[in-house]
Homo-oligomer: A and B are copies of this chain.
C-alpha cells in the first residue's frame, strides 16, 4: 500500500498557513491612463491642478456684474451697460461675477436686456469647484472604474502606479501537447495553464505561461528556478500527486520547502503549497476541475492578499434536485446549474468527475459541502454561489429529460433571444419525474406507450392533476448505429452498447426486441449504459461496441452507418403556467421558427411536419390539439 500524501490539512488550515508564510508584497508598475481601468492603485493619486483654475461660465449666456441687475423685473426690464457674451466653459472675466443664460436675454443692437435680477456667482463655476490642486483623487488600493479615467485625465494625471502581481505558470507532463497540435490518443492538449492564466488575469494579475516540461526531474527543477526568479507567484501544473512520475513536491522540497502536500478538498486534494525564496509556489492538480477548484479556493484568496480581490459571487438559495453525499473531513465543491422556476431557484448538480471540464462550462454556480457535513438530500435548500451575473442566471431554462443533438442547436438559436437552455440528460422518465417535482421548465420525451401513442399516457399516469402542454420538436428516426451497416436482427451476434434505464431509446429498444421475440440476455453489452446518443455512437466508432440504438444525427456526426427502426414523436412537456414566463414563450417561438426547422432538415433524420405543434393536456381530460 502506498502512502500518498505527506500531510493532509483542511482548507481553512491551508489558507491560514498561506497567510502566515508569505509577505505578499506586490510589485508595482506605471501604466498610462488609457490602460488603467480595472487596475488597483499602489499609491494615492492627487490632482495636479485645480479644476477649474479660474472662474468659468456654467452656461451659454452673458457675463454680468450682478449689482447692475438688482432692479430688473418683468415690469422693469434693464438694459445692461456692461456685459459680455460667454459660452459654456469660457472664462468669466474678473470684472464680472455672474452669468445669465442666453434664453433669458433679449439682444438688440449689441445691447442685452434682462427681466430678472441675478445673485452673485449665479451660473459661475468657481475655481476648484470640481477639485483643488493637491487634493487626493483616489486613495491607495482603489480599483479604477472605467469612467474615472476621465476625471483623472481632467486633473492632469497621465500615468498611474498600480499593483502588479506576476504569476508564472509551468505546465509539466509528458502526455501534454501545446495548443494547436492535434493530440494522438493518450495525449492531451495542455490547457490547465491557459485556464489558470485567464482566471488570474481576470483577477488583475499578469500571467506568464512557460513551455511544457516533460516528466523529468532536472528539467522541472530548472524551469522552477527560472519561474521563481521571474515572478511573485509560481504555479506548477500537475505532477502534484504521488504517482510514479510526480516530481513537483520533490523539486519544491529541494529548492525550498513543501509547507503542505494534500488539502482536504474535493476535487483538488493533491495540491502542494510550497515556498521557494520566500515566494509562494503552488502545485496544481492535473485534473482540470481539481485545478479550477484550487485556483478558486486557494490561489485567488492568495492573490487577494496582494490587493487583487477576485470578482464577488452572488448567491441564491436553491432547491437541490438530487442528493449529494460527501465525506466528513473534506470540503467538497459541486458544480451546479441554477435556474429560476416561477419564484424559486432550482439547482441541478453537474457531473462530479474532475476530468469532465464541460461541467464547468455548463454550470453557472457551485456549492460547498463543508467538511463537517455528510451531504445534502434532494429537495434540501442550498446556497448556490453564482459564477455568472444573476441576470444571466435568470435567463436559464432548465431542460431535463431525453437527449437529442438538436437541443444544442435549439439552445444556440434561443441564446440570441436572451434565453439560456441548460439540458440535463436523464432520459425521458427522468424528465417526467423532474417535471412532476417542478424541477425543470420543460422535459424532452419520447415514450412509446403500449397503445402505440407517444408521451401522453405517461404524463396522464405520472402527472394526473397537471395542466400540461406538449410541444413537438420533431418526429425523428431511431435506428441501429454501426460501423458495418448492421440491422436490428444482427444484434444478437454483435456487441452492443445500451442507453440508461428510463430513457425512451431503451424503452423503444425493449419494445422492438419484444415484438421480434429477441431475448435481451442474448445481446452482449445490453447492460453497458451510456447517457447520450453521441456517447453511444462514439462507443461504436471506437470499436468498443459494434452497434447501438440512437438517432440519425448522431450516426451522421461521426460518419457511421444507420439502419432505421422507428419514427417517434419527440416532444417538450411543460406545465401550462410555464408559458406565462416570457422565456418559455421565446422557447416556443424558437422551436416553431423556420430557421430551426431548416436546421433539423440539415441535420437529417427528422420529419418537421409536426415541429412547433402544441398539444394540451388538461387534468382528467383527453388531450387537445
Q: Which residues of A contact B (CB under 8 A)?
A: 1-2, 4, 33-34, 37-38, 44, 48-56, 58, 60, 85, 87-91, 94, 102-106, 120-121, 125-143, 145-156, 158, 175, 179-180, 182-183, 185-186, 188-192, 194-199, 201-202, 241-245, 286-288, 291-292, 295, 307, 309, 311-312, 314, 353, 355-358, 360-361, 387-392, 405, 408-409, 411-412, 415-416, 528, 530, 532, 534-535, 537-539, 542-544, 557-558
Given contacts A33-B179, A388-B145, contact A355 B134 (CB under 8 A): no
Pick the contact of A286: B38, B88, B102 (CB < 8 A). B88
Pick the contact of A149: B140, B152, B194, B309 (CB < 8 A). B194
Given contacts A54-B186, A147-B198, A180-B158, contact A127 B538 (CB under 8 A): yes
Task: Please state if A538 and B128 are interface contacts (CB–CB under 8 Å).
Answer: yes
Task: Please state if B312 and A128 are interface contacts (CB–CB under 8 Å).
Answer: no
Residue among A185, A189, A198, A535 with the highest chain B CB neighbour number at 10 A? A198
A440 to B290, CA, bound (A): 45
Interchain nearest-CB distance for A270 vs B (Å): 10
Q: Classify the secondary structure of A's interface with B.
A: loop
In the complex, which residues of chain B have a beta carbon less than 8 angstroms from the beta carbon of A90? 175, 186
Task: Please state if B532 and A132 are interface contacts (CB–CB under 8 Å).
Answer: yes
Pick the contact of A198: B37, B51, B135 (CB < 8 A). B37
A560 to B87, CA, bound (A): 32
Pick the contact of A153: B52, B152, B194 (CB < 8 A). B194
Question: Which 10 A-B pairs rank lowest in CB-CB distance, beginning with the nearest?
Answer: A150-B195, A153-B191, A146-B198, A136-B408, A151-B357, A139-B412, A54-B185, A134-B557, A132-B534, A128-B538
Interchain nearest-CB distance for A210 vs B (Å): 14
Task: Please state if A91 and B185 are interface contacts (CB–CB under 8 Å).
Answer: yes
Interchain nearest-CB distance for A235 vs B (Å): 13
A42 to B58, CA, bound (A): 45
**Residue in B closest to A175 when the chains form the complex, CB atoms:** B89
In the complex, which residues of chain B have a beta carbon less than 8 angstroms from the beta carbon of A409? 44, 136
Task: Please state if A132 and B44 are interface contacts (CB–CB under 8 Å).
Answer: no
In the complex, which residues of chain B have a beta carbon less than 8 angstroms from the beta carbon of A197? 34, 149
Interchain nearest-CB distance for A371 vs B (Å): 21
Residue among A158, A179, A196 with the highest chain B CB neighbour number at 10 A? A179
18 pairs of residues in contact across A and B, judged by CB atoms under 8 Å: A1-B103, A1-B104, A4-B103, A44-B409, A58-B355, A87-B243, A90-B175, A120-B528, A126-B535, A126-B544, A134-B534, A135-B408, A136-B412, A146-B201, A148-B195, A150-B357, A151-B195, A312-B390
Given contacts A49-B182, A153-B194, A408-B44, contact A534 B103 (CB under 8 A): no
In the complex, which residues of chain B have a beta carbon less than 8 angstroms from the beta carbon of A54? 185-186, 542
A132 to B539, CA, bound (A): 10
Task: Please state if B37 and A202 are interface contacts (CB–CB under 8 Å).
Answer: yes
Pick the contact of A146: B125, B146, B202 (CB < 8 A). B202
Given contacts A103-B4, A412-B139, A558-B134, contact A360 B191 (CB under 8 A): no
In the complex, which residues of chain B have a beta carbon less than 8 angstroms from the beta carbon of A245? 87
**Residue in B closest to A311 when the chains form the complex, CB atoms:** B389
In the complex, which residues of chain B have a beta carbon less than 8 angstroms from the beta carbon of A51? 188, 357
A188 to B51, CA, bound (A): 8
